Structure 1
Amino acid sequence: MLYFYLCSTFVLLSAFVVLKKVKLKRKVTMGSWLSYLWWGGDPDVVNPQSGLTRREIYAVQQSWAPVYANSIANGTELLKRFFRSYPETKEFFKMIRKSSEEDYSQNPQFKAHVINLMSSINLAVNNLNQPEVVAALMNKLGESHGRRKIQKEHFYYLKDVIVKMFIEVLKLEGATLAAWGKTVDFWYKHIFETLNNADAR
């Protein structure tokens, strides 16, 4: 029993020393120790590459999970809203350029594009805790879209549609929406790096 007590005391003292070393600015309590350990660090420290905190990443991932659970239906709805709001963007989609909305879901090429879109977003969301990996994924996305002559404004159109859809369908509150805004800005920064390069070639 005494051995167990000494071990427990040592673990608590070690945790206290670790917290002191990282210079936590708020008062250290048992609750903050547990929170710190659960988050894997201070949940509100901003990652210098992504601009996101652990708490914001968690909010984005949690709100994305139900969307991806029905990815084809939600991806199709997203693109329908995109084309309604910005009909000129249909020109980039040869497979449905002259089709009506009702025909989209019957088109296998369109369905493949929806799957590709939602899978790309899912990869980017699930790897937000590895911003260097996400940056590389977005660079590749920028290259492929640059070759198709897609411009920055088209990406901003899509962001506008995503935000409106999330507000309407998911009823997201302000902090989660703000986290999504920062996430998309991080993605776009790296998409635009290679999108611009593709334009210059």
Structure 2
Amino acid sequence: MLVYSSVMSYIAPDGNELQEMQKGDEAIVLDNDNPIDPVTGLSRREKDYVQQSWQHVRQDLKAAGLGFFHAFFHAHPEYKEKFKKFTDIPADKLIENRSFQVHAMSVMNAVTMVVDTLDDVPKLVNELKNLGASHGRHNIQVSHFRNLAVVLVAFLESALGPELFQEDVKQSWIKALDLVVTVVATGLPQRSPSATESTAN
């Protein structure tokens, strides 16, 4: 279980506003070349692993989105009922469905936002809280985000292969996505203790 107390303290108790970071905060140094972000808990190297591996994915986000969402519904077919626009579309026809394509792309854009703002904590937290709030209106729960994160890691591992998605890269993604789920949970109507469970199997 990974609990990001620094991130949680960065979010106001009412869940609506960010607290101002303490002045003078500096990165905790793991070693001279790999400082750890005191808020996210991610090291410079872990951020680099996430950002560099995503560069390969973003070369064709449409294909990645379709492949990922197909894998997601294969792993969790029960979630398909939450998408009214393509609930009744057979699994083998989903890729041809416009609504499915649009939603798959929106998920890829959301992941890209996370990757691109790992060094901008205020923006990252705000965007993730808004993401939680918008999905909470559709009765999406923390467990859904956690399961999505698990499938995303498995998809990246399969799509990029062992050379590009080595164990250090995988663990960096797991840690980053644990952070994402933790913050998204603060934007949902009701937080669940399961929000802090690891995305690792």
Q: TM-score, normalised on structure 1?
A: 0.75
Flag structure 1 segments of 5+ consecutive residues without an equivalent: 1-21, 27-41
Match of 2:46 in 1: 56
Match of 2:177 in 1: 184
State the secondary structure of the residue aligned to 1:94.
Answer: coil
d(CA) in 2 for partners of 1:94, 1:107: 12
Match of 1:122 in 2: 112
Decide whether the 8 Å contact of 1:143 with 1:198 is kept in 2: no
Decide whether the 8 Å contact of 1:46 with 1:53 is kept in 2: yes
Decide whether the 8 Å contact of 1:142 with 1:193 is kept in 2: yes
State the secondary structure of the residue aligned to 1:60.
Answer: helix
Aligned counterpart for 1:86 among listed residues 58, 76, 80: 76
Q: Between Structure 1 and Structure 2, how many residues are aligned?
A: 163
Identity %: 28
Cα 1:99–1:56, aligned 2, differ >3 Å: closer, same or farther? same
Match of 2:145 in 1: 155
Q: TM-score, normalised on structure 2?
A: 0.75
Match of 2:128 in 1: 138
Residue 176 of structure 2 aligns with an amino acid whose one-letter code is: T
Would you identify which runs of 4 or more consecutive aligned residues in structure 1 move more than 6 Å? 22-26
Whose Rg is larger? 1
Match of 1:77 in 2: 67
Flag structure 2 segments of 5+ consecutive residues without an equivalent: 1-26, 193-201
Match of 1:97 in 2: 87
| Deviation readout 1:103-140 (Å, 9 max, x if unpaired) | 22322222111121111110110111112211111000
State the secondary structure of the residue aligned to 1:96.
Answer: coil
Decide whether the 8 Å contact of 2:51 with 2:116 is kept in 1: yes
Question: C-alpha root-mean-square deviation of aligned residues, in Å?
Answer: 2.2
State the 1:24 CA deviation. 7.5
State the 1:181 CA deviation. 0.8
